[in-house]
């Protein structure tokens, strides 16, 4: 709780600047296009990625980090809008998804326009490393699309491996944090870009594994939604794939439960069963160890950074991101 409070206090000013600028970037008309975008931006979110852009710029107090940070958040928002369409999701952050509240055409067009706004924001920064930053943005954009493609492909396969899972989360989750961090570092002059990229990569891997874990073991009241959604949806998570790798050595009762998850036939009763089974077979401990290992690697990558403000800021980000229970 102390780490969370310290992090939120230290980033409060940056988050307020991000919120204000995001809304300023959205034109007034045509309202049929921009009102849905404005609604999406105002629907909440922790703004983790643009905050990481800010923290990654702290080696240079005069860095113009805000246009880059907003570009990253808009790219993330685009992925949510289009992912919700692809997943047929009805709600996001407790509110109707854009295609549910309006229609699919409106949501698709909004997502396209959000990307345009992101590119406008990035180009408005007047950065010395503008070419490199534009290349980073395009690469991050492509990677997240590739990650989503793998994620959707996995829904149709019963032979996904943990190695493939790590490739998918690298593209879909870690690369977005890498983009946020590298753009922030580039806005400050680019001195620490590669070590900050490595920090963000390993932090992103740990973040996604922890997300998988929280979906099963989090306190439901703190989590803000019902746990076990990944079980019911048959998601190919770190926990499920690790269990499937042990399929031949577990008992028949647990095997049947895994097959129901695999075939997307799991019921609410399987959530508690999966939690108990994964704990019994050491899979929850395995996930926690993977999170710890990735976090240690991330921390070690920035231990030699000469800028104390940058190093402390990134350490606090890691503490907050990986210490959360929701």
Residue 213: give its domain's CATH number.
1.10.600.10
Query: What is the domain extent for residue 151?
Result: 2-323
- For the CA atoms of 171, 174, 177, 181, what is the dihedral angle to 10 degrees? -100
pLDDT in tens, 115-159: 999 999 999 999 999 999 999 999 999 999 999 999 999 988 999
Number of domains in the chain: 1
Rg (CA), the chain: 20
pLDDT of residue 2: 61
List, for residues 235-253, the tens digit of each pLDDT value: 999 999 999 999 999 999 9
pTM for the structure as a whole: 0.93
User: Across the chain, what does the average pLDDT equal?
Assistant: 93
Residue-wise DSSP of 154-223: HTT-S---HHHHHHHHIIIIIHHHHHHHHHHHHHTTSTTHHHHHHHHHHHHHHHHHHHHHHHHHS-HHHH
């Amino acid at each position: 709780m102390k780490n969370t409070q310290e992090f939120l206090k230290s980033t409060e000013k940056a988050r307020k600047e991000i919120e204000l600028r995001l809304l300023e970037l959205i034109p007034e008309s045509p309202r049929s296009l921009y009102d849905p975008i404005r609604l999406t931006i105002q629907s909440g979110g922790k703004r983790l990625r643009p905050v990481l852009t800010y923290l990654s710029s702290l080696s240079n107090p005069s860095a113009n980090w805000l246009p880059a940070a907003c570009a990253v958040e808009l790219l993330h928002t685009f992925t949510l809008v289009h992912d919700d369409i692809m997943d047929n999701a009805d709600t996001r952050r407790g509110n109707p998804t854009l295609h549910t509240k309006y229609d699919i055409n409106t949501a698709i067009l909004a997502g396209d326009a959000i990307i345009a706004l992101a590119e406008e924001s990035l180009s408005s920064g007047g950065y010395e490393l503008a070419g490199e930053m534009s290349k980073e943005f395009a690469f991050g954009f492509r990677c997240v699309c590739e990650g989503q493609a793998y994620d959707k492909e996995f829904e149709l396969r019963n032979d996904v491996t943990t190695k493939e899972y790590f490739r998918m989360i690298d593209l879909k989750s870690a690369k977005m944090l890498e983009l946020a961090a590298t753009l922030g570092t580039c806005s400050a002059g680019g001195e620490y870009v590669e070590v900050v990229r490595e920090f963000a990569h390993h932090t992103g891997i740990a973040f996604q594994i922890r997300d998988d874990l929280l979906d099963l073991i989090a306190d439901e009241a703190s989590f803000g939604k019902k746990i076990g959604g990944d079980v019911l949806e048959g998601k190919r998570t770190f926990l499920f794939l690790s269990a499937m790798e042990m399929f031949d050595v577990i008992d028949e009762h647990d095997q049947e439960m895994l097959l129901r998850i695999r075939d997307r036939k799991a019921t609410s009763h399987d959530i508690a069963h999966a939690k108990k089974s994964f704990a019994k077979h050491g899979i929850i401990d395995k996930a926690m160890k993977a999170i710890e290992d990735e976090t240690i690697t991330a921390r070690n990558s920035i231990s030699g950074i000469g800028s104390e403000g940058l190093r402390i800021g990134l350490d606090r980000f890691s503490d907050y991101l990986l210490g959360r229970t929701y």
